[in-house]
């Protein structure tokens, strides 16, 4: 198609240009950078693509890999919560349509039968950037998954429910305090692993070694907040700064922490940090299971009781 061309991502030649585009894009986050994606190593069969204009400038990129459960399907990207086409301001609506036609033709020619597209939720956009959803509609995409997240609008926070404000004040009066920094990561990872194992029968997606590796690569985007009582760590959470949103990637509270409201102090520390750093949203993450088919109502109610509204994380499938 005139004006735009597509080619596979070249790890040796494209990494710097890719990450520069993500940094200046409307809808990219550090999760979309090659610096982040490369920590997966050879875990996925990469099928990422680069879109260039007729002057050879990189205009858009899309991280993607083969689905490990069905290698006839491409996913954007199986190693991150959301992927999608990342593009800069000058890419017009018509160019988006061209780009998606090129993407569909490219994967079809490579033998793929379907593309699964994890759209970037709008709370992570630096400016409205939903042209990709319209392009997917034009390609006949269907929504195959929808997850529900709880998000605080820092400019218009909803009322706290269930005594959240009082619980946080009581905890602080008892001496619970919040601290920032990765020094407590080994202790927190023990608590996190125990909580996830006992309540959900799973382990953290990232090992302690992996999360510390990523924290070292992205010190401006990742942080750890923990709450303490009498010298003991009783709750904590890992935060990801992504565009206008501070996202809570992991969080957990010990039994002692749950008794004294340590989680409430941790949340309020995150909300204060998000507001102080100029973020618009604080996101708790999703409360759905089984690829969005089941809502953990108790967990969702717990998160929204902190003054949060709801946001959807949408996944689409295009038959090629």
- Token pair listed for 189: 């990872």
Q: How far is CA 71 from each of CA 20, 65, 85, 318, rounded to the nearest angstrom?
A: 30, 9, 21, 15
Q: Report the 10 Å Cβ neighbour count for 126.
A: 14
Given a cut of 90, whether residue 159 has pLDDT beyond it is yes
Mean pLDDT of 311-317: 97
Which residue(s) pair with 4 in the sheet?
53
Q: How far is CA 117 from each of CA 128, 140, 173, 185, 191, rounded to the nearest angstrom?
A: 18, 13, 47, 33, 33
Given a cut of 70, whether residue 1 has pLDDT beyond it is no
If you write DSSP's letter for every residue of 173-223 in order, what string do you get?
HTT-EEEESGGGHHHHHHHHHHHHHHHHS---SS-HHHHHHHHHH-TTTEE
Mean pLDDT of 179-206: 93
Mean pLDDT, the chain, integer:
95
Q: Which domains does the chain have, with CATH numbers?
A: 4-140 (3.40.630.30), 151-313 (3.40.630.30)
Q: Which residue has the tokens 């491409």?
A: 74
Mean pLDDT of 145-168: 97
Which of 64-78, 194-208, 262-276 has the least mean pLDDT? 194-208
pLDDT value for 2: 54
Mean pLDDT of 94-118: 96
- Percent share of the chain, pLDDT over 70: 99
- The pLDDT tens digits for 72-102 are 999 999 999 999 999 987 778 889 999 999 9
Cα dihedral sign for 192, 193, 198, 200?
Answer: positive
C-beta of residue 84 within 8 angstroms of C-beta of residue 117: yes
Task: Report the alpha-carbon distance of residue 270 to residue 239 in Å, rounded.
Answer: 8
Mean pLDDT of 188-201: 91
3-state secondary structure of 270: helix
């Amino acid at each position: 198609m005139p004006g735009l061309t597509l080619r596979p991502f070249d790890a040796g030649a494209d990494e710097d240009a890719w990450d520069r585009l993500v940094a200046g894009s409307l809808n990219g986050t550090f999760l979309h950078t090659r610096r982040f994606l490369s920590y997966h190593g050879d875990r996925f069969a990469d099928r990422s693509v680069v879109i260039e204009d007729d002057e050879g400038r990189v205009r858009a990129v899309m991280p993607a890999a083969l689905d490990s459960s069905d290698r006839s399907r491409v996913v954007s990207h199986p190693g991150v919560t959301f992927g999608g086409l990342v593009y800069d301001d000058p890419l017009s609506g018509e160019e988006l349509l061209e780009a998606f036609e090129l993407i569909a033709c490219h994967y079809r020619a490579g033998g793929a039968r379907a593309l699964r597209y994890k759209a970037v939720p709008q709370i992570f956009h630096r400016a409205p950037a939903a042209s990709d959803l319209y392009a997917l509609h034009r390609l006949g995409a269907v929504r195959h998954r929808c997850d529900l997240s709880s998000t605080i609008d820092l400019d218009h926070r909803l009322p706290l429910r269930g005594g959240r404000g009082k619980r946080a004040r009581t905890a602080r009066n008892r001496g619970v305090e919040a601290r920032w920094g990765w020094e407590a990561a080994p202790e927190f990872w023990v608590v996190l692993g125990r909580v996830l194992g006992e309540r959900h029968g799973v382990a953290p997606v990232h090992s302690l070694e992996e999360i510390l590796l990523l924290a070292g690569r992205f010190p401006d985007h990742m942080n750890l907040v923990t709450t303490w009582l009498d010298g003991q760590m009783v709750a904590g959470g890992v935060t990801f700064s992504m565009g206008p949103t501070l996202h809570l990637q992991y969080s957990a509270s010990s039994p002692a922490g749950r008794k004294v409201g340590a989680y409430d102090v941790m949340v309020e520390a995150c909300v204060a940090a998000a507001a102080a750093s100029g973020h618009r949203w604080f996101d708790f993450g999703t409360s759905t299971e089984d690829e969005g088919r089941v809502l953990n109502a108790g967990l969702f109610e717990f998160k929204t009781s902190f003054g949060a509204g709801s946001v959807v994380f949408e996944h689409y499938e295009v038959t090629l």
